[in-house]
Amino acid sequence: MSDLVYVLNGPNLNLLGTREPDIYGSATLDEIAGMLEDRARDLDLEVDVRQSNHEGHLVDWLHEAQAEGAKAVLLNAGAYTHTSIALLDAIRSIAVPVIEVHLSDPATREAFRHVSYVGMAAAGEVKGLGPQSYVVALEKAAAL
């Protein structure tokens, strides 16, 4: 097992900072990546932060995390959290622990966001802390 943690971000997260800031805050994905890189150094970890609007890329990256012997994956699958059986199957097919991450708390939002296919297979979840959700998830990954 390596000290590498994949940080995978799904659809529309490339628009953080301008997308519904009342829900998601004003931090950009690049700013969150910077926070993670700083904290990862303190934890003797390396992070590989990626984003795609395409479900298949996320599946491929989960498989890659397994092939590369990653320590963990932090996954904010965006809307795919609530729709993607493909991501559920991909998480179940790898031994790398996946920690589900959300900026907001889906349980306090629309009913369709209350089901998490990612959560059905994830080793843990951090939600509702804004950008700090990622940092807390990275700390959980370090403790694995």
Q: State the virtual CA torsion across 15, 60, 120, 47 in degrees, nearest 10.
A: -60
Measured CA to CA in angstroms, residue 112 lies from 45, 81, 115, 117 at distances of 35, 10, 7, 12
Establish whether 63 is a catalytic residue. no
Establish whether 117 is a catalytic residue. no
Catalytic residue among 24, 80, 117, 134: 24
Catalytic residue among 6, 80, 102, 117: 102
Q: Which residues are catalytic?
A: 24, 102
